[in-house]
Amino acid sequence: MTTYEKCQAVRRAIVNRAAEVMNYTNWVDEFAAKQIREIPEVLADKIGKINIAELTAPQMDDLGFGRWSEDNPMRLIPLWLFKFLPDEIESECIDGTKSVLKTAEMDNDHRFGCLAYGIWPNDQSPSAPK
């Protein structure tokens, strides 16, 4: 399974569970929340951690990575992928700081569904072959 396919599977699982919670109104709130919160655990063996640095710009666009600016190809990481990121990730903060971050220490606050951290698409990274 490719990185892109893993991301699609995660997105599909989240959307399907959210649809169940919205439509199965007989589910009590505690059970409904559990159905959403357990997604990472349910997918752990099949999906594992996802190396999003392998994604291309078109794949990131499809998956909802936010473009930081028209002048910068960096894409902001969607919140829905947060629980599937590796333990460490090379990223760039919106303040311009580039570093290898431990995901356990990353702020999961988001704006418009994306974290304040971004990565360069695999096909547009500064180290990508021209």
Q: How far apart are CA 100 and CA 1, in angstroms?
A: 25
Question: Using alpha carbons only, how large is the chain's radius of gyration in Å?
Answer: 16
Q: What is the mean pLDDT of residues 94-98?
A: 78
Query: Sign of the CA dihedral 82, 11, 122, 53?
Result: positive
Domain ranges of the chain: 3-43, 55-119
DSSP character for 80? G
Q: How far apart are CA 35 and CA 31, in angstroms?
A: 6
* pTM, 2 dp: 0.85
**Terminal-residue alpha carbon distance, the chain:** 27
Q: What is the mean pLDDT of residues 105-126?
A: 81
Q: How far apart are CA 74 and CA 47, in angstroms?
A: 25
- Amino acid residing at 122: N
Mean pLDDT of the chain: 88
Q: What is the mean pLDDT of residues 86-99?
A: 83
Structure confidence by residue, pLDDT tens digits, 24-44: 999 999 999 999 999 999 998
